[in-house]
Amino acid sequence: MELYKLTAHAAMDLLNKKEVSSTELTKAVISRIESVENQVDAYLTNTFESALETAKNVDAKLASGKTLLPLEGVPMAIKDNICTNGIRTTCASKMLENFVPPYDAFVAKKVKAIGAPMLGKLNMDEFAMGSSTENSYFKKTKNPFNLNCVPGGSSGGSAAAVGADMAMYTLGSDTGGSIRQPASFCGVVGLKPTYGRVSRFGLVAFASSLDQIGPLTKDVEDAALVMNLICGHDEMDSTSVNLPAEDFTKALSTDVKGMKIGIPNEYMGEGISAEVKEAILNAAKLYEQMGATVEYFDMPSLSSALPAYYIISSAEASSNLARYDGVKYGYRTENYSDLMEMYKNTRSEGFGNEVKRRIMLGTYALSSGYYDAYYKKAQQVRTIVRGGFENAFKKYDFVLSPTAPVTAFKLGEKTADPMEMYLADICTVSINIAGLPAISLPCGIGKDNLPIGMQLIGNSFDEKTILHAAYAYEKNAGLELKPQI
């Protein structure tokens, strides 16, 4: 087996047994990137030299007889909206094309501290706004299972890199499904942690009450390992929750006897394709064969989650993106005669169409006379959605649903109709609104060899239950996915 195909935990085992060096692992993944990047287009910036330097230091530590930390020496990559000291962080936008942060995000510090060779920064939808990675200013990332299809978004580069073995794991961000939906499209595992579980310090803000950083990995065990790495209280983030450290790998078990699983009827209705529905029903049957109980139930508030999400997220985006004015940092237009024209031209030229669309939607929703009708009402819906989940968790250990209503669609297929693109998030946005944890993992293969993902939704700060259930499914399903490249 080629080294670049290894899972992170398999790579760790070989490193600890001294059967392979970190330099060999890193070179193998770099070689893989160099051979397929021109087809996948996942990376915006590569940092191969510093990755090899880190790997060399890890090998020196191994040679001296010291024990490696978990994930030390395992090559990975980071979504390009997570700040990295001295390394370009663009958010895939012209606005930040040449922005080099003077500090590391909390999670980037964690990765650096354990000695993980960081291979580079990954493509995304501009400022994380999109579901296909077609909104990037720089390039369009392709799906490793079918190069004519999108990888999903906004963490499309992060998912495609793992799916194409161009990183052993990656970090992405999830505001309305941006880790889980591309994980589903690219046949990998994506975990969105509970809001507040992972520090947002150094994550370039899109919608501050919804954003969360999380892992994209080759299997569930790797997701648990990366969660162990990136969790922890951070005084630099006022929403970071101070909880005792947990070892998520201890939750991994194949026994689900007695578990109660709820499937909301709203997630299995209109808009969900027949092949996705069938894959979810088959997954539910497998859980029943393993000894779990599956029930269908109604959760009417879910039908209001998507419009509420787009009002809340656009309002917060309007507010957060006001800082890009051409004065302090980032792009500044060359064509202006006074300050107001400089603001206007900078923002007109620096932002792409989707970002402008959301800024305008959000500004409208927050404007005088409309605030109560839109933003306040959306926040009230948010409370109702959260209440619906709280009631569900009184009865069920976790909630099961499709991750996305369809498999990966063709490049360019939905770009003309923003509403159709927004519907790709119909199964994921409610989880961000409620601040809950959810994991996406492959549960089937649709037509054209495209993966189908299922989503396990847990109660607040109960990542252990969904990791446990996901691991049990993964081990019993024995699903084998074969990318095109």
Q: In this predicted model, what pLDDT tens digit does every residue of 256-269 receive, in sequence order?
A: 999 999 999 999 98
pLDDT 10s digits, 463-474: 999 999 999 999
Over 90: is that where the pLDDT of 416 sits? no
pLDDT of 424 strictly over 90: no
- DSSP per-residue string spanning 14-70: HHHTTSS-HHHHHHHHHHHHHHHHHHH--EEEE-HHHHHHHHHHHHHHHHTTPPPPT
Give the pLDDT band of residue 420 (cuts 50, 70, 90). Answer: confident
Q: Are 117 and 27 in contact (CB under 8 A)?
A: no
Reported as a single tens digit per residue, the pLDDT across 136-181 is 999 999 999 999 999 999 999 999 999 999 999 999 999 999 999 9
C-alpha R_g of the chain: 21
The percentage of residues in the chain with a pLDDT greater than 90, rounded to a whole number, is: 96
Instruction: Given the residues 21, 136, 154, 304, select the one marked as catalytic.
Output: 154
The pLDDT tens digits for 295-313 are: 999 999 999 999 999 999 9
- Domains of the chain with bracketed CATH: 3-258+404-414+437-477 (3.90.1300.10)
Q: What is the pLDDT of residues 24-71, one digit of tens each?
A: 999 999 999 999 999 999 999 999 999 999 999 999 999 999 999 999
Average pLDDT, the chain: 97
Residue 447 CB contacts under 8 Å (≥ 6 apart), including other chains? 275, 407
Please give the Cα distance from 326 to 130 (Å, whole number).
24
Residue 1, pLDDT > 90, answer: no
Active site residue 154: yes
Check residue 418 and give its pLDDT: 84
Catalytic residue check, 218: no
In this prediction, residues 453-480 reach a mean pLDDT of: 97
In this predicted structure, which of 228-232, 248-252, 339-343, 446-450 has the lowest mean pLDDT? 446-450
**301 catalytic per annotation:** no
Structure letter (DSSP) for residue 425: G
Q: pLDDT grade, residue 338 (50/70/90)?
A: very high
pLDDT at 358: 97
| Alpha-carbon separation of residue 344 from 96, 280, 348 (angstroms) | 16, 48, 6
Task: Considering the candidates 27, 79, 110, 414, report the single residue annotated as catalytic.
Answer: 79
What pLDDT band is residue 417 in, cutting at 50, 70 and 90?
Answer: confident
What is the pTM (predicted TM-score) of this model?
Answer: 0.97
Q: What is the structure's pLDDT at 419?
A: 84
Q: Which of 131, 178, 301, 460 is catalytic?
A: 178
